[in-house]
């Protein structure tokens, strides 16, 4: 299949580079053209507008939010209008349930196929092909893109026939990660204020009861006070909390922990910490406990 990739942020750039091995004529697009330069040097073809994907059988999108995904797909000259009948759109973006339904409906109306396939993993995992891919949609489409999935991730999961089901799972996973970051930061602040070295405490936790990547990776970021550069910036995480709350309200599912998380996000936003990694949720617990030099509002190198 002739393939394309739209959205070359910190996640998308690494994913697109991985696909060059199975799609050497990969066509790429980004609203900021500067992001396409590295991929062009690796052999990718740079598209100047979405209409340039009219000859593609398969396109992937990886953008920041619902608005960007809707604009690329449903806007004038977007993918729904541009792609030929029979083409496949795989959306890897973390978007809301309603947005995924709208994309699916638009593609089906034009005889195209749509698969939601959001991912779990940070930019380093994207560049290494170590993502976990969470898909929902037609099983035949999932099978057809197997070579591409194998380049992007270490494991893929097909969790349902309705594309929006994958987005619900992704949002629930990010919600769970946020609760882990918050609770881990609170526990670490408690023992640190009681005189325990936070690095030693983390070693204890991750060597015994909590030997899992989410605790090891985010625990290290919290313990090291490493909030820049942001692998996943706070505003994006705050956006995901809003999306999971909308999904929960539609399904009448209470999420009691969401209130404190929402307040923590709002506090960080009000203090101007928008460029920090979302591990700052846990570091903010140390700040609230009066521990010195936790959050640093100064811009770090390489951050816009």
Q: Which positions are catalytic?
A: 170
Cite the DSSP H helix spans in the chain.
10-19, 37-41, 66-74, 79-82, 97-109, 123-128, 139-144, 146-152, 164-193, 198-207, 213-223, 234-251, 258-270, 280-288
What DSSP state is assigned to residue 227?
A: -
**Ordered DSSP codes for 20-84:** TTT-TT-EEE-SSGGGGHHHHHTTPEEPSSGGGGGG-SEEEE--SSHHHHHHHHHSTT-HHHHSP
> How far apart are alpha carbons 136 and 91 in whole angstroms?
10
Sheet-wide strand order for 153-158: 119-120, 131-135, 153-158
Return the residue matching tokens 């990718």. Answer: 44
Tokens of 281: 């949720």
Reference 87, options 63, 62, 61, 53; nearest CA is 53
Provide the 10 A C-beta neighbour count for residue 41: 8
């Amino acid at each position: 299949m002739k393939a394309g990739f739209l959205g070359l942020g910190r996640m998308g750039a690494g994913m697109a580079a991985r696909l060059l091995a199975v799609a050497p004529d990969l066509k790429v697009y980004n609203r900021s053209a500067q992001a396409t330069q590295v991929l062009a040097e690796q052999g990718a073809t740079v598209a100047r507008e979405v209409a340039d994907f009219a000859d593609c059988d398969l396109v992937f999108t990886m953008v920041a939010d619902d608005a960007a995904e809707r604009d690329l797909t449903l806007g004038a000259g977007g993918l729904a209008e541009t792609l030929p009948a029979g083409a496949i759109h795989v959306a890897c973006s973390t978007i809301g349930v309603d947005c995924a339904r709208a994309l699916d409906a638009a593609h089906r109306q034009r005889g195209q196929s749509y698969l939601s396939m959001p991912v779990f993993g940070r930019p380093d995992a994207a560049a290494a092909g170590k993502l976990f891919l969470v898909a929902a949609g037609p099983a035949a489409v999932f099978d057809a893109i197997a070579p591409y999935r194998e380049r992007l991730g270490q494991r893929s999961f097909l969790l349902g026939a309705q594309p929006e089901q994958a987005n619900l799972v992704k949002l629930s996973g990010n919600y769970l990660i946020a609760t882990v970051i918050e609770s881990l930061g609170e526990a670490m602040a408690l023992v640190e204020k009681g005189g325990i070295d936070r690095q030693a405490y983390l070693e204890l936790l991750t060597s015994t009861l909590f030997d899992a990547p989410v605790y090891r990776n985010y625990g290290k970021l919290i313990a090291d006070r490493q909030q820049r550069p942001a692998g996943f910036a706070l505003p994006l995480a705050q956006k995901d909390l809003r999306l999971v709350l909308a999904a929960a309200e539609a399904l009448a599912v209470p999420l009691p922990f969401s209130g404190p998380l929402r307040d923590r996000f709002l506090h960080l936003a009000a203090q101007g910490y928008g460029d920090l990694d979302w591990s700052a949720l846990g570091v903010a617990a140390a700040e609230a406990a009066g521990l010195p030099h936790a959050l640093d509002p100064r811009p770090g190198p390489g951050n816009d």
